[in-house]
């Protein structure tokens, strides 16, 4: 029914409650991507701890659910 969605609302870095910036998101994805090539992948939990965010935020960013480019 469209509840909670504001047309033209702040998204990404422009949102006042964001915990991340595009630079941090890109670095998270770069670190995660390079870990695949080394044979052992960083877990979402390890990425989350490194960047100071929750497991849920890390998994949503890394799977593209949030922070879509």
- pLDDT tens across 43-66, in order? 899 999 999 999 999 999 999 888
Separation of alpha carbons 11 and 56, rounded Å: 18
Binning pLDDT at 50, 70 and 90, where does residue 38 land?
low
Residue among 67, 24, 18, 51 nearest 43 (CA): 51
Higher-pLDDT residue of 49, 3: 49
Q: Average pLDDT for residues 40-44, to the nearest whole number?
A: 83
For residue 10, what are the contacts with CB-CB under 8 A and spacing of at least 6? 16
Q: Using the predicted structure, report yes or no on whether residue 25 has a pLDDT greater than 80.
A: yes
Separation of alpha carbons 52 and 35, rounded Å: 18
């Amino acid at each position: 029914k469209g509840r909670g969605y504001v047309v033209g609302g702040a998204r990404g870095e422009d949102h006042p409650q964001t915990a991340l910036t595009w630079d941090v998101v890109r670095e998270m994805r770069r670190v995660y991507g390079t870990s695949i090539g080394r044979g052992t992948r960083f877990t979402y939990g390890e990425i989350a701890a490194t960047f100071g965010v929750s497991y849920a935020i890390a998994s949503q960013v890394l799977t593209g659910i949030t922070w879509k480019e």
